[in-house]
Amino acid sequence: MFEVKERYTKEPSNNISSLHISTRFYRTSKYKYLMSTKFIDMFIVDTGHLNGLEIHCINEYGLIYIYNKDTGKLITILHPRPMQIKRYYIQLELTISKEIREIINICYNRNLDRNLNQVWFSYLRPKVEDM
């Protein structure tokens, strides 16, 4: 389940981390140079998790910070797979800005170059003209 509920407009808490993220050091260390809490868009997402709704925050480099909506704890930070950012906008029927389209393409190419997240089908690449 992955249902984007709405855009989120408050500033998420950046000082509390969950145990889950502390076990992800190897993964997050691969893109340490992309970490920034300058968020360009944020969404409330229902993934069906027992701990409730999540806040997904896209930073200026395309990383997605995921927080628990109720506790404010940082759950994880991930580098998006192809189409991952685009689906937030598709589900809410929002126009994808030029800035977001550029980030989607940069993330796709970064994944291919550095394998920061699983890119298994190159045909899933989002095309700018399709957005």
Instruction: Phi first, then psi: give them for residue 66, nearest 5 degrees.
Output: -115, 120
Virtual torsion, Cα 108, 113, 115, 116, nearest 10 deg: -60
Q: How far is CA 79 from CA 21, 85, 106, in A?
A: 14, 10, 11
**Mean pLDDT calculated for residue range 82-91:** 93
| More confidently predicted of 118 and 83 | 83
Per the DSSP assignment, residues forming a β-bridge with 77 are 65
47 contacts 78 by C-beta, under 8 angstroms: no
Q: Map out the domains of the chain as residue ranges.
A: 3-130
Per-residue pLDDT at 104:
95
Confidence class for position 15, pLDDT limits 50, 70, 90: low
